[in-house]
Amino acid sequence: NAGVTQTPKFRILKIGQSMTLQCTQDMNHNYMYWYRQDPGMGLKLIYYSVGAGITDKGEVPNGYNVSRSTTEDFPLRLELAAPSQTSVYFCASSWMDGNTIYFGEGSWLTVV
Amino acid sequence: GDSVTQMEGPVTLSEEAFLTINCTYTATGYPSLFWYVQYPGEGLQLLLKATKADDKGSNKGFEATYRKETTSFHLEKGSVQVSDSAVYFCALSDRGGATNKLIFGTGTLLAVQP
């Protein structure tokens, strides 16, 4: 049972570089989310999607972009990496009722 | 807006001690409430949930009751083990907004000593 799969697990970026965090889920969930977790803090919502072709901003969207061309995939794009984007990123998905949200294992990103 | 407040850690207990981690929330609608657990180096796993007032969620010996009158969802376990050492997050789901966004507390680190 794959669930929510994120890649890469670890990445070091230089300031100004770009990259994409990949996320795919095999549960046919409508809803998908990207969160970031900073040390000693809870998770903050970056972007979310309620279905293919529909995305919207969360609490902390600046510096990121997303797309949702299929139900399964929800990539997160960092265009110009900054040290403030050093964090752990979690992708998640759920059914419309939202009663259970499933998380990926996380992607540890360091910007130097 | 909606928010979750949970007790600061770390919480350090001896094995077989009783655990309580406090969580209170502020919400305009009728949210679902969750406890997630994060073991070192891993992602978040759903521990238990409650979707309406007076519901009790339970799993792996952990329990939490949805108390609307006190806007609380405290996590309890009667006898903790070393393997319970992790960070515990209380969260609520914005079901009323039809987006199911989770709003998290800051997390409580639990360290259980043998």
- Residues of chain B contacting A44 with CB distance shorter than 8 Å: 104
State mean pLDDT over A3-22: 96
Flag if A106 and B106 touch (Cβ within 8 Å).
no
Decide if B52 contacts B23 (C-beta within 8 A).
Answer: no
pLDDT at A99: 67
The backbone torsions φ and ψ at residue B84, rounded to the nearest 5 degrees and listed phi first, read -85, -5
- Check if B82 contacts A (Cβ < 8 Å): no
Average pLDDT over residues A41-65: 93
Mean pLDDT of the B90-111 span: 81
Binning pLDDT at 50, 70 and 90, where does residue B2 land?
confident
Name the closest residue on chain A to residue B3, using Cα atoms.
A42
Q: Report the mean per-residue pLDDT for chain B.
A: 91
User: Would the CB atoms of B44 and A31 count as touching at under 8 Å?
Assistant: no
pLDDT at res. B7: 87
* Section B19-41 average pLDDT: 91
* pLDDT for position A109: 96
pLDDT reported for residue B14: 97
Contact B100 A98 (CB under 8 A): yes
Report the b/e string of A61-85 with b at 16+ CB within 10 A. beebebbbeebbebbbebeebeeeb
For range A53-74, the mean pLDDT:
96
Residue A98 has pLDDT above 80, yes or no: no
Contacts of A43 in chain B (CB under 8 A): 44, 89, 102, 104
Q: State yes or no: pLDDT of B26 exceeds 60.
A: yes
Give B-chain residues touching A38 at CB under 8 angstroms. none
Q: How confident is the model at residue B8 (pLDDT cuts 50, 70, 90)?
A: confident
Write out the two tokens for A12. Answer: 């070091």
* pLDDT (average), residues A51-58: 94
* Touching A: B residues 27-66, CB under 8 Å: 32, 34, 36, 42-46, 49, 51
d(CA A107, CA A91): 9
Q: What is the pLDDT of residue A71?
A: 96
The count of CB pairs under 8 A between chains A and B is 62
Q: What is the pLDDT of residue B15?
A: 97
Q: Average pLDDT for residues A19-40, to the nearest whole number?
A: 93
The residue-averaged pLDDT of A51-78 equals 96
> B89 with B38: CB under 8 angstroms?
yes
pLDDT mean over A91-96? 88
Contact flag A40-B106 (C-beta cutoff 8 Å)? yes
CA-nearest residue to B52 within chain A is: A99
**A109/B9: higher pLDDT:** A109
Q: Residue B44: is its pLDDT beyond 90?
A: no
At A25, is the pLDDT very low, low, confident or very high (cuts 50, 70, 90)?
Answer: very high
